Chains A and B, each alone.
Chain A
Amino acid sequence: MVMNYMLSEEEQLLIETAKIVANEKIKPVRQYYDKNEEFPWSIINELAKADLCGVYIPEAYGGLGKGIMGLILVVEELCKIDAGIALTLAATALGILPILLFGTSTQKKKYLPDIAAGKSIAAFCLTEANAGSDVTAINTTAIQDGDHYIINGNKCFITNGGEAQVYTVFVKTNTDKGLRGISCFIIDKETQGFAFGKKEHKMGIRASSTRELIFNNCKIHKDQMIGHIGAGLIIAQKTLNYSRPGVAAQALGIATGALYEAIHYAKKRVQFGKSIITFQAIQHMLADMATEVEAARAFLYSCVRMIDAKISKRISKESAMVKLFCSEVAMKVTLNAVQILGGYGYLQDYNVEKMMRDAKITTLYEGTSQIQRNEIALGLIKETVINE
């Protein structure tokens, strides 16, 4: 890469370390995990040993304190090789962010060090069968019973489901209060009344587990609530503001990986007596892909610098923009990478086939591209009200 983003020495160290783990530990097994839909615990162990699990967690809790920037640099680097395996880390960040952003110091002390050390992973549990884009439609309830809450209902599509130790779960504590009736609880895996349902079989990111959660009279102490009662929706929205750049980083990593594969293939593949990279049609495709990838990276890094600098509370528009942009770039670039590899690109023996499958999810989860556009438009409307 020629473009220089003035990353600090420590940020470069994160990238360098993630790259070594990705190449030495993940690359040799990525096809295996994709084919077998097996959860990559052995790799999580490697990430933990290299200190890559807690880059965004403050040093006081055993992390490296490198902010969202640290997280996205690591996620991007890992996703160049495999997005499914890298998702275990990114989804853990999503799952633990509600505690990081809104938890009490007791809750942080209890949960963050194990996450930072890679001893446990987390999951963010919002979606339900009838509440996807419309999160306010959730039906899982928590009814107060003295010092406890009794939780009933099902969550679906939960990344790291069944494997995670820590679940941040959004529930209705008051069904009459609408938007203010949602609260967020931390639920440990072993809690009675908490079980796992169906594991989904997916198009891409198949190393990641996506699973249903079942709460059946699950009793949770009130100290496990994050923030105050009724703050759940705000917690979810703020968490997503911080985590969407993580999805953008997955997309960027996949796109970069696919671009790399396409360039190398195009140099080697000979047709009509020439290597296909000498054809202008191929060159222009590669040029567009590289330009889009670089634009995505520049946008992502500057957006995350702004988020980490905490100069603005209103980051939902930018965070949505960068997720939208990077994920759409990933789709375009992986699609074109397959095109450049021709028939070989369609085979599982070549990596771009998997990259194209993996890329698609980034336009869907943590809000579809349509929902990102809604968020961006809402930001535009709000901004102009303030300015006028």
Chain B
Amino acid sequence: MNKIVICIKHIHNIGINYFDLYALEEGVQLKEQNQDNSKVIVFTMGPRGSESTLRTAISKGADEAYLLTDDKFFKGSDTIATSYILATAIKLLVGQYKIIICGKKTYDSGTEQVGPAIATMLNIPHVSYVREIKSINQRRLTVERVVDDGYETIRSSLPVLLTVTNGVHKPRIASIKSKLLARKANIKIFNAYDLDINTSKIGLYGSPTQVVSLYTKKKKLKKKFSGSARYIVSSFIKQFNNSI
């Protein structure tokens, strides 16, 4: 069986992280195209409330869902600690897999680091900012990734980790029947003890970085242009040229 692993994040008051919807869709489409009894397995590390996001993933085609949650040991984990928890869980609970797909970044913290870090810890290659899986067989795949001024086509051996952007496959709308089934689905819950994880590497104290404070940046109005359209444009250009 081919196992397709998707890592998703639950965002408080919002639900599933935007780019993770694309990661999930890419994984589910892989499963549907191949029809070789592939399985889509989703993981999330977060508080108990993240369960709803796993149910969303099941309603949109995931087969199995794991919630990695531990109020004592996981809380305060930074990107490295989070990646370590996910990588440990994937190793332990999935074993062999064909591909791991993550969203390119989260909407709340947006470091873009968790996907690549998991790949590093699992010692597999990764490709970031993927917009489409062009082809895949048992040994390798070809993907198209977004770069600053265009697209890059990359071939990689398997298993591989991809981080995806809002690519060519739009996330599906879950049907009512699948939502009803997802409500009853079994979510497997694991804590630090279950994963037999080295607790000195996780949580607030195991994290090399710590968020000290968060605030919204106030935008300062630098200069206001008013008058006729012609005047606004010409004075803006003048100001712009002076500033570079």
Interface residues of A (CB under 8 A from B): 10, 13-14, 17, 20-21, 24-25, 46, 49-52, 55, 64
Check if A49 sits within 8 Å of B175, measured CB to CB: yes
* Residues of A close to B172: CB separation below 8 A: 49
Check if B173 sits within 8 Å of A51, measured CB to CB: no
* Residues of B close to A17: CB separation below 8 A: 173-176, 179
Chain A nearest CB from B239 CB (Å) reads 29
Q: Cβ of B180 < 8 Å from any Cβ of A?
A: yes
Q: How far is the CA of A335 from the CA of B193 in the complex (A)?
A: 65
Contact of B177 among A20, A24, A46, A64 (CB under 8 A): A64
Check if A20 sits within 8 Å of B176, measured CB to CB: no
Having A17-B174, A17-B176, A49-B172, one finds 18 other A-B pairs with CB under 8 Å, namely A13-B179, A17-B173, A17-B179, A21-B173, A46-B173, A49-B173, A49-B175, A50-B173, A50-B174, A50-B175, A50-B176, A51-B175, A51-B176, A51-B177, A52-B176, A55-B176, A64-B176, A64-B177
Total residues of chain B contacting the partner, CB 8 A: 8
Chain B nearest CB from A62 CB (Å) reads 10
Q: How far is the CA of A21 from the CA of B179 in the complex (A)?
A: 14
* Residues of A close to B176: CB separation below 8 A: 13-14, 17, 50-52, 55, 64
Check if B180 sits within 8 Å of A13, measured CB to CB: yes
Q: How far is the CA of A49 from the CA of B172 in the complex (A)?
A: 10
Q: How far is the CA of A52 from the CA of B176 in the complex (A)?
A: 7
Q: How far is the CA of A24 from the CA of B21 in the complex (A)?
A: 15
Q: List 24 A-B contacts (CB under 8 A).
A: A13-B176, A13-B179, A13-B180, A17-B173, A17-B175, A17-B176, A17-B179, A20-B173, A21-B173, A24-B173, A46-B173, A49-B172, A49-B173, A49-B175, A50-B173, A50-B174, A50-B175, A50-B176, A51-B176, A51-B177, A52-B176, A55-B176, A64-B176, A64-B177
* Residues of B close to A25: CB separation below 8 A: 173
Check if A10 sits within 8 Å of B180, measured CB to CB: yes
Chain A nearest CB from B174 CB (Å) reads 8
* Residues of A close to B180: CB separation below 8 A: 10, 13
Q: How far is the CA of A13 from the CA of B181 in the complex (A)?
A: 12
Chain B nearest CB from A278 CB (Å) reads 26
Which residue of B is nearest A46, CB measured?
Answer: B173
Chain A nearest CB from B176 CB (Å) reads 4
Which residue of B is nearest A21, CB measured?
Answer: B173
Interface digits, B146-161 against A, CB 8 Å rule (1 contact, 0 not)?
A: 0000000000000000
Q: How far is the CA of A20 from the CA of B177 in the complex (A)?
A: 15
Which residue of A is nearest B170, CB measured?
Answer: A24
Interface digits, B55-98 against A, CB 8 Å rule (1 contact, 0 not)?
A: 00000000000000000000000000000000000000000000
Chain A nearest CB from B177 CB (Å) reads 5
Which residue of B is nearest A70, CB measured?
Answer: B176
Q: How far is the CA of A14 from the CA of B179 in the complex (A)?
A: 10
